[in-house]
Amino acid sequence: MPLAVSSEDLTVIPLVKRAALSAPRRYFALAAVTALYFFLMAGSFNALGVVLPAMVSDLHLNWSEAGFGFTLLGLACGLISPLPAITIRHFGIVATLISAGCLLASGFAFLAMAVSKFEYDLGTLLIGCAFTLGGTVPGTYVVANLFEQSSRPMGLYFGIGGLGSIAGPLLYIGINSTLHGWRPFWWFCALATSLCSIIAALIVHGIPFDIAHDNTIRKRGWPARTALRSPAFWVIVTAYTGCLAISTTLHSFSVKHFTEHGLSATHAAEIMSMVALLAAAGAFIAGEAGRVAGGRILTGAATAALMLASATLLMPQSSLTLGVFIVTMGLGVGLSYVASAMLLLEYFGTRHNLELYATMCLISTAAAFGPWLGGLIHDSTGSFRMIFMAFAAIGLLLTLALAFLRRPSLQDEA
């Protein structure tokens, strides 16, 4: 269903000269930003959790200080979300990617050279800022502007990039077993991410993006302020934030929950590894299914899957419930990232998708309170059941809201 617009409501903005770009150039650009996202994922959250015990011992940190570094990393990723939109609009995508590379090299170098809590905290803070500058906001901007049908390349971007969260701990284990220390891993991350940033900047250099003038290729899109007044935008943002809160909290506490109910720590870790694999598969599936089903159906599937994942943790632990958890948690996480980005593009167009996506990422920082709340509940009740029950209810409400969500038109918002 096309957007209902009038010439008074909307100025038509030309986008990339897609016809003038060769297919290899587009796919080289896609590969470059995907490689950068892969190494960003490989060197951040999952890998830091694996490296941290050795760092805590060598730097003489307590776990409260170690956890604060994680907090800085997460908060920087969320709170800096509007910055890429500003830098891309004012200085261009090339300058944004190069800035990300400089910050990444600095952040990982501080971790590699850390001798105290100060260098550790500064390193995580810089990596969090760089993650936003070089991650999903500029990545989805490049994909959306280079491909008329962006669902498949979006699935490739999130799917292959997401595999970095699996590769990171494995890379650390390999480097640590060879070089006998955690510092070489951070030097490797500094080199890999900075090189990927530079290569991505060189490849996208010269691509005109949305400042091109081609009368044969034009794309409509909503003004940013009008989109922000649309209830549909806030349903999408709430769904994305809810999915992120459920995902973050369940990742934080599932292993502890499983071990409290009889599983070994090794078995619980294997389950979460299988979840990560299925999350990558979910992103690939979303890219293909989005061409047929659309973003709304996929986002609803993501919220429904995460609702079921939360609900299975309330049931007696068995092979069946663990299998259902792995499938629903993995696919729900993988679908949610791609589906939300697709739904924004479908409903509000590419004109100001950069600002709208950055706004969604900023608001989704509220999801970081999920693990904090879950920890409080466990400390007071001795169990995670209440937080799992709450997230199952939230997933149900979001699924129902998406089921009744209809595509808005600018005439309705006038």
- Looking at residue 74, what is its pLDDT? 77
Q: What is the pLDDT of residues 30-66, one digit of tens each?
A: 999 999 999 998 888 777 877 877 888 888 887 677 7
Between residues 110 and 146, the one the model is more confident about: 110
Task: Among 60-74, 208-222, 284-298, name the one with the lowest average pLDDT.
Answer: 208-222
Q: Is the pLDDT of residue 268 over 50?
A: yes
- The SS3 of residue 347 is helix
Helix axes 151-162 and 265-289, enclosed angle (nearest 10): 160
Give the range among 63-72, 183-192, 371-380 with minimum mean pLDDT.
Answer: 63-72
317 DSSP 8-state letter:
P
C-alpha closest to that of 39 among 154, 123, 127: 127
Residues of the chain with CATH 1.20.1250.20: 13-218, 220-406
pLDDT in tens, 172-195: 888 988 998 899 999 999 999 999
Q: What integer is the mean pLDDT of 314-337? A: 91
Q: pLDDT tens digit string along 151-177? A: 788 888 988 888 888 888 888 888 988
Q: What is the pLDDT of residue 63?
A: 67
Topology, domain 13-218:
Growth Hormone; Chain: A; (1.20.1250)
Query: Of 108, 111, 122, which Cα lies nearest the Cα of 40?
Result: 108
Which of 13 and 143 is assigned the larger pLDDT?
A: 143
pLDDT confidence of residue 414? 45
Burial of 350 (0-12, 13-18, 19+ CB in 10 A): buried
Q: From CA 376, how far away is CA 372, in angstroms rounded? A: 6
Instruction: Write down the mean pLDDT value for the chain.
Output: 83
**331 or 218, greater pLDDT:** 331
Give the model's pLDDT for residue 38: 94
Fold category of 220-406 in CATH: Growth Hormone; Chain: A; (1.20.1250)
Cα R_g (the chain), whole angstroms = 21
* Mean pLDDT in residue range 100-114: 94
pLDDT at 82: 83
